[in-house]
Chain A
Amino acid sequence: MRYVLLTFVLIGATALGGCAEGVLDPKGPITFAERQILFNATGIMLAIVVPVMFATLGVAFWFRASNERARYRPDFKYSGRIELLVWSIPLMTVLLVGTVAWVSSYDLDPPRPIASSAKPVKVQVVSLDWKWLFIYPEQGIASVNQLTIPVGTPVSFELTSSGVMNSFFVPQLAGQIYTMAGMVTHLNLQADYPGSYRGASANFSGDGFADMHFNVDAVPPETFANWVASTRGAGRVLDAQAYADLVKPSKAVAPFTYPSIAPGLFAGILSAELQSDQGICVRYPESMRAAR
C-alpha cells in the first residue's frame, strides 16, 4: 500500500510539473482565480473521497467470509443515525462547493469587465473554416491566427463565427467560450506576464480542426503600439471582397495581418448571417460570397 501511495504521489508530481503550459500554469487574473477554485474544490472533495475509497477496501477486506474475527450481523440493515449521516455528508459537501459555484459564476462571468486603470483593448473574433480572424476595431487592423495583446491591460472580446460553431480557448489566460454564427459572445481576459501562449479551438468544427490553433503574444504596451504601427500601412484591406476570400475553407494557415479594415465589417458578418435566406445546398450563405 505504501508503494501504491508513493506511486500516486510521484505520478501526481510529474503530472503537475508537466502542466507547465496548461490551465495549471495561469498567466492572468482570470485563470489564476479559476485554478484556485479547481484546487479548493478538489481539496474539499478529496477529504471525503479518499476515506471512502479506503473504507470500501477496508470494510470489504475485514468482512471477508474467511475472517473468523469479523462479527457477522445479518440483521444490520437499517440505522436512522447512519442514514442521517450518509445523507448529510454529501449534502454538506454540496452546500460548500455549491456556494463556491454560485459566487464564482458571478465573479468570473466571462462578459464581466476586468477592473483595471488601463483602458481595455477591444478585439473582435471570428472563427472561420479553419482559422481565426482577429479584428482590432480601434486600431483599424486585423490579423489571422495571431493575437497580439498588451501585457497588464484588459482585453475585451466580442466573438462570433462565420458558420460552424467553435470555442475560443487560451488555457493560460481565460476559460473558453463558444463562437456561434449570428450571435455574439463576450469574454474578458488579461495577461499579467509577457510571453507567447497557445490558443486553439476547443469545439470540433470539421476536417481542418486540428490545425485551428493560434499564437497569443502578450507584449509590453510599447511593443504593442509598435506592432500596431508596423501592421498599418500597405497591403490588402480587409473588406467584403477580402473577407469572402478568407472564409473559403483552408487548413493550417500561417499567421498574417491586414493593414486596414472596412468599417462595420464585424456587424456585417453578424447581420448578414441573419438576413440571408439562401437554400441549403450551398457551401456558404450568399452573404458570405463575393457578390455582396
Chain B
Amino acid sequence: MSLLGKLSWSAIPVHQPIIMGTVACVAIVILATLAWITTRGYWPYLWREWITSVDHKRIGVMYFALAMVMLVRGFADAIMMRTQQAIAAGGAQGYLPPEHFDQIFSAHGTIMIFFVAMPLVIGLMNFVVPLQLGIRDVAFPTMNSVSLWLTASGVLLANASLAIGEFAKTGWVAYPPLSELQFSPGVGVDYYLWSLQISGLGTLLTGVNFVTTILKMRAPGMSYMRMPVFCWTALATNLLIVAAFPVLTALFAMLLLDRYLGFHFFTVDGGGNAMMYVNLFWVWGHPEVYILVMPAYGIYSEVSATFSGKPLFGYRSMVGATLAICVLSYTVWLHHFFTMGASASVNAFFGITSMIIGVPTGVKIFNWLFTMYGGRVRFTLPVLWTIGFMVTFVFGGLTGVLLALPPVDWQVHNSLFLVAHFHHVIVPGVLFGVMAGYNYWFPKAFGFRLEERWGVASFWCWFIGFHLAFMPLYVVGLMGMTRRMQHYDVLSWQPWLWVAEAGAVIVLAGIACQFVQLVVSVRNREELRDTTGDPWNGRTLEWATASPPPAWNFAVLPQVGELDAFWAKKQRVGAKQEQPMLQRDYKPIEVPSNNPTGFVTSFFVVIGGFALIWHIWWMAGLGLLGAAATLLAFMFHPDEEVEIPAEQIALFDRTHPVEVSL
C-alpha cells in the first residue's frame, strides 16, 4: 500500500488539452488574484474583516460571491454541452469524447444545484433575514461561519477534480448500480460524494441556525404574523433543510459504505437494491426544489409589494401557501420515477399529489398579480426580473403538471422535454428571483445602487436567451431525444439544438452584462450612493438602518407594532401624526468577535476529504483530527465578545442618519 493511496502523477489528465487548458487558465486567474492581493497588502484586511468574520452580512456576501464564481463554472459546462450536442449529429462525434462529456453534465448539475443555487439563496437569507427580523445577528454566528467554509470546502474539492483525477460520470443524481465501484471504479463518484457530504453538513448547520434564529430571535413585538414574507419563506426553507438534508447525508453514507467497505446497500449482487437509493435520493431531492425556490418566492413577494407601493395582497394566504408547500413537498417524490414500474395506484396517487402542490403555487402567482393591481408599479430592475419570472414560470408550471400525469411522464421522462421543464422552473423560479434580490438588496449591502442600463441589458439577454435555449429542448424532447447523449443519429434534431446553442450564447452575454454592471456600478458608486438607508421606499426593517448597516445592525432594537411597521411609521410621519425620530438611549452593544474557527476547521476538512477520496488514510486521520480539535478548541474557549462603546454607536447614528426610527 502506497503512502499516497491511489494518488499518482497519472491522476493529472495531461493528455486532455481541453482540461489542461482550462486548468491553466484557472490557475493563472487564481495566481494573478493572489499576487494582486499580496502586492496591495490586502491579506490582513481580508483575514480580519472577511475570512474570520462571523457577521451574517459578510457571510451572506461571501456566499453570494462564491456562488457567482461557480455560476461561471457551471455555465461553462452548460455551453460546452450545448456546443457538443449542436455538432455531434449523424456520424459526427463532436469535440468531447464520452468520458469527458459524461463528467461535464454530471458536474453541471451538481455545481448548479449545490454550489450555485444553494449558496445564492443561503447567501441572501444570511444577509437579509436578521435585518428583516430587526436583530443583530443569527443565533449561532460562529456556526454560520463554519457553514460557509464547509460549503466552500465542498466547492474546492469538486473543482479540484478537474485537475486531479476526474469527476463523476454518472449524472448529478449518481444512481447506483452505475455509481457503485463495480461500474465506476475511478475517484469521480468519490469526489462527488465527499464534496456533497461536506457542503451538505454546512447546509444542515445553516438550517439549524436559521430555524433557531427565526423562531427565537425576532425584534420585540414581531409576532409570527408580523414577520415579512421573506422570513416566512426562509423559515419554511430551513425547516425543509433540517428535515431533508439528513436523508441525503445518510444516503451518501450508505453509498460510501458500499464503495469503501464492500457493503451491499445498492449493489447488483448481495441483495442490494438500487431503487432504494432512487427513492431516498428524491425524498431529499424534491424538497430540495422547494428549498431553492421558496426564498425566491419570498423575494418576489417583497419586490412586488415594495415597488407597487402597497402591502402584499393576501398576506395570510401567502403564509398559508408557503406552509402548505413546505408540507406537501414531502408527498410527491415518486413522480421522479413513474417509469420504475410501480403499480397504477401508486403512480396515480403521486401524480395527483404532485398536481396539488401546484395549487399553493398558483395562489402565490395570483396574489402577486393582485399586489400589483391598484399599485404604482415602478419598473426597476427587481421588478423586471419579477415580471419576467411570472410570465415564464406559469408555463414551466404547465409542463410540470404534464409531467405529473403518469402516462405523459412515460413518454417524456428522461428526455430533453424533462430537461427543458426543470430549467424552466429553476431558472426563472430561483435564478430570476435571486437576481431580483441581488439588485434589490445590493444598495443595502454596499451603500450604492447597481447601475440600471447594464442591468436591463442583462435581464433581456437572460430572458431571451433562456427561451431560445430551452424552448427548442421541449421540441426535441417530444421528438424522442433523450438526455445525456454525447452524440445522436437523428439529423432532424440538430437544427433545434443549434437554436438552443444560440440561446446559450445570449445567456452568456447576459452573464457578461451582469459583471459589467457590477464593475460600472463600483466605478460610479458616488453617483449611485444611497445616503438614506432606504433607496426604494421600502416596507421592512432592513431599510430602517444605514446602508451598509453597521456591525450591530440596529443601534436600538426596533419596536414592531404591526406588519410592515417601517412603512406604516413612514406613512404616519408623512401625515404628521408622529415624530420621525425617537429619543435614543444608547447603550454599549456586545457583538461576537471574529474568529477563524470556520476557516481552520474547513482547512482540515479539505485535507481530510481529499485524503478520503484518494484513500490516503493517514492524511484522512490527520484532517479529521484537526477539524475536531479546532471545533473542540472553540467550544471550550470562553466566549469572546467585543463590546462596542455607546459613544461609537451614537457617533455612527449621527453620521448615518435615517429618515425614521422605530
CB contacts under 8 Å to B, within A258-285, are 273-274, 276-285
Q: Mark B448-475, 1 if CB is under 8 A from A, else 0.
A: 0000000000000000000000010011
Of A137-145, A203-211, A218-226, the one touching chain B? A203-211
CB-CB under 8 A from B402, the residues of chain A are 38, 41-42, 45
- Inter-chain CA distance A163–B414, complex, in Å, is 19
Which residue of chain A has its CB nearest to the CB of B413? Answer: A176
Q: Please tell me which stretch of A53-61, A118-126, A147-155, A228-236 contacts chain B, meaning at least 4 of its Cβ atoms lie within 8 angstroms of it.
A: A53-61
Residue of chain A at shortest CB distance from B374: A73
Return the CB mask of B325-356 against A: 1 if under 8 Å, else 0. Answer: 00000000000010111011101100110011
Query: Are A202 and B341 in contact (CB-based, < 8 A)?
Result: no
Say yes or no: is A106 at the interface (Cβ < 8 Å to chain B): yes
Judge whether B17 is part of the interface by a CB distance below 8 angstroms.
no
Return the contact of B271 from the options A42, A205, A274 (Cβ within 8 A): A274
**In this complex, what residue of A is CB-closest to B184?**
A206
**A15-B475, A41-B408, A78-B313 as given contacts; A23 in contact with B366, CB under 8 Å:** no
By a CB distance below 8 angstroms, the chain A residues around B264 are 280
CB neighbours (8 Å) of A131 from chain B are none
Q: Is residue B556 within 8 Å, beta carbon to beta carbon, of the partner chain?
A: no
Contact B182–A52 (Cβ < 8 Å): no
Q: How far is the CA of A283 from the CA of B411 in the complex (A)?
A: 32
Distance A51 CA – B366 CA, assembled complex (angstroms)? 11
CB-CB nearest in chain A for B321 = A87
A253 lies within 8 A of chain B by Cβ: no
Residue of A nearest to B178 (CB): A164
CB-CB < 8 A to A31: which residues of B? 411
**A63:B410 contact, CB within 8 angstroms:** no
Q: Which residues on the A side are within 8 Å of B390 (C-beta)?
A: 53, 56
Residues of A43-76 at the interface with B, using a CB-CB cut-off of 8 Å, are 45-46, 49, 52-53, 55-57, 59-60, 63-65, 70-76
Let me know if B412 and A279 touch, CB within 8 A. Answer: no
A86 to B321, CA, bound (A): 11
CB neighbors of A among B389-411 (8 A): 390-391, 394-395, 397-398, 401-402, 404-411
Verify B355–A98 contact, CB threshold 8 A. yes
Stretch of B127-135, B435-443, B476-484, B515-523 contacting A (4+ beta carbons < 8 Å): B476-484
B402's nearest neighbour on chain A, judged by CB, is A41
Of B347, B367, B369, which one neighbours A105 at CB under 8 angstroms?
B347
Q: Which of B240-297 contact A (CB under 8 A)?
A: 258-259, 262, 264, 267-271, 274-275
Cβ contact within 8 Å between B314 and A86:
yes
Complex CA–CA separation, A15 to B339 (angstroms): 26
Q: How far is the CB of B447 from chain A (nearest CB, A)?
A: 25
A273 to chain B, nearest CB (A): 6
Are A106 and B475 closer than 8 Å at their CB atoms?
A: no
- Report Cα–Cα, A140/B486, bound state, in Å: 35
Choose among A19, A24, A49 the residue with the greatest number of B CB atoms under 10 Å from its CB. A49
Q: Which of A86, A100, A208 contacts B317 (CB 8 A)?
A: A86
| Cβ–Cβ contact B372 & A59, under 8 A | yes
Check B487 for interface membership: any CB of A closer than 8 A.
yes
Residues of B within 8 A of A207 (CB): 98-99, 102, 169
Contact, CB under 8 Å: B407 / A108: yes
Indicate if A77 sits at the interface (CB-CB under 8 A).
yes
Q: Are A56 and B391 in contact (CB under 8 A)?
A: yes
| Contact with A90, one of B180, B358, B377, B408 (Cβ below 8 angstroms) | B358
Are A21 and B341 closer than 8 Å at their CB atoms? no
Contact of A206 among B178, B308, B362, B377 (CB under 8 A): B178
CB <8 Å contact, B178 and A205: yes
C-alpha spacing A106/B345, complex, angstroms: 7
Query: Which of B190-198, B488-496, B596-604, B640-648 touches A?
Result: B488-496
Given contacts A19-B475, A46-B398, A65-B378, contact A175 B339 (CB under 8 A): yes
Residues of A within 8 A of B376 (CB): 63-65, 70, 72
Provide the B73-108 mask, 1 if CB < 8 A to any CB of A, else 0: 000000000000000000000000011001000000
Contact of B486 among A42, A181, A210, A279 (CB under 8 A): A210
Answer yes or no: B45 CB below 8 A from chain A CBs. Answer: no
In the complex, what distance in Å separates the CA atom of A60 from the CA atom of B475? 31
Residues in B with CB closer than 8 Å to A108 are 406-407, 410
> Which residues of chain A have C-beta atoms less than 8 A from B175's C-beta?
165, 203
B375 contacts chain A at the CB level, 8 A cutoff: yes
Say whether B650 faces chain A, with CB atoms less than 8 Å apart.
Answer: no
Are A202 and B413 in contact (CB-based, < 8 A)? yes
Binary A-proximity of B151-167 (CB < 8 A = 1, otherwise 0): 00000000000000000
Contact status A180-B411, CB under 8 Å: no
With an 8 A cutoff between CB atoms, is B359 at the interface? yes
Q: Decide: A178 and B339 in contact? CB cutoff 8 A.
A: yes
Question: Are the C-beta atoms of A285 and B269 separated by less than 8 Å?
Answer: yes
Could you name 14 residue pairs across A and B whose Cβ atoms are closer than 8 Å?
A21-B490, A55-B369, A87-B363, A98-B351, A101-B348, A111-B341, A167-B413, A175-B411, A180-B275, A183-B275, A207-B99, A207-B169, A213-B489, A273-B269
Q: Which 7 A-B pairs have the closest CB atoms?
A: A175-B410, A90-B362, A73-B374, A22-B479, A86-B366, A185-B341, A171-B480
Query: A63-B376, A94-B359 given. 17 additional CB < 8 A pairs?
Result: A11-B471, A31-B411, A57-B387, A60-B372, A63-B373, A72-B309, A73-B310, A86-B363, A87-B317, A90-B362, A106-B344, A165-B274, A183-B341, A200-B482, A207-B98, A281-B182, A287-B269
